Amino acid sequence: MKQFDVPVKYRSPLISAVKQRRKDEDRMKKDFTPTLLDGGDLRIYLARHFGFCYGVENAIEIAFRTIDENPGKRIFLLSEMIHNPQVNADLQEAGVRFLQDTYGRQLIPFDVLQPDDIVLIPAFGTTLDLERQLVGKGIHTEHYNTTCPFVEKVWNRSEQIARKGYSVIIHGKPKHEETRATFSHAAANAPSLILNDMKDAIDLAAFIRAEHTPAMFADRFAGMFSPGFDCTKDLQRIGVVNQTTQLASDTQAIAEYLKSVMVDHFNLTLSTVADHFADTRDTLCYATNDNQTAVTGMLEVEADLAIVVGGYNSSNTTHLVELCEQRLPTYFISDAGKIGAVGEILHYDYHTRQERLTEGFLPSGRPLTILLTSGASCPDAVVEQVINRLAELKRVEFRTPIG
């Protein structure tokens, strides 16, 4: 896989050594057991896969190269480059200005843009409407588009099934940048609908079976379907694609459920399933799959607690937290600074969308085992800082930094 040139401050000698050793020992990526950092009284298990993915490193490389190659030019980002506070802060410190926030609310009006300005498209991609607005301002983004190739793969797959007469069902968070972008591209080619979760899928099944009226559909899925969507005919043939940072198991479960509904409703056989349901399993992101599977492998270890590091608005990171907290106490932090000197931790509760302080989160008087991972947009250097902070609190040194 391509090697990217990202700022050295995001790298970690420790994490790089761990990852390289695991890669050398497991080139086919079939071993999802965690890596042990053994400090005696503190044992930290690192997930087999975590941190920057291909799309994130690609976006960071393009962004910082653009800054270096265009001194004196005004450079804007359409919205956050990725969902990581350190990277976005570094870009702003370098003079990059954000046009919108992560929810699409305007921070700087497009009216200020001039044809010689540079506008970077974030890794999540953007909508066709926003692209048209930028082109209308004389701004061309071809060389400054950091859209993840795996997001574009979902767009391409949506277009392919649209050409075959399928409506596109998108499993994603309706307000997320990537979902908005994917919905825009899908809706340009076919009737499209967003499902947030399995509850939405179950409710949709009632409309597939024609158990409710179109008026009820418009009310139930308000703001989540493309203009002109007709539930009486546009649910006859469907395919499910995803926001690439969703839980892969959730996307697969929704797709399998809707497939079973179609099979029952249309009395399909194995040879006729494709008449009403498209096979879109190939839209799941490799990094999302690897990171989530690695957490599942890590959770097989007996531990006292888990720490997940990343941006609080990062969808893929939140899902890692979700997996961990099903098994043991889990703390979601953005950086090592959230861990206090007296054993307290300021962590994010994604259920309430607020930070909260927990005192005495590190059990005392006995050896401690912690599971540790990070989201796909979190620099390895931040993870190493968390490791060092925990080692400082427990007053240990790791005897086997690469176990």
Q: Point out the residues that are catalytic.
A: 178
What is the DSSP-derived secondary structure letter of residue 112? G
CA distance 77 to 144: 10
Q: 3-state class of 150 per DSSP? A: helix
Phi, psi (degrees; rounded to nearest 5) at 267: 55, 55
Q: Which amino acid appears at position 376 of this protein? A: A
H helix or E strand, kind and range, residue 331: strand 330-333
What residues contact residue 396 under an 8 Å CB cut-off, 6+ apart? 39, 40, 41, 42
For CA atoms 299, 36, 58, 134, the dihedral sign is positive
Helices (H) and strands (E) counted in the chain, each on its own, are 12, 14
Neighbours of 76 (CB within 10 A): 21
Burial class of residue 90 in the structure, from the number of CB atoms within 10 Å of its CB (0-12 exposed, 13-18 middle, 19+ buried): buried
Please say whether the beta carbons of 346 and 333 come within 8 A.
yes
What are 196's two structure tokens?
């947030």
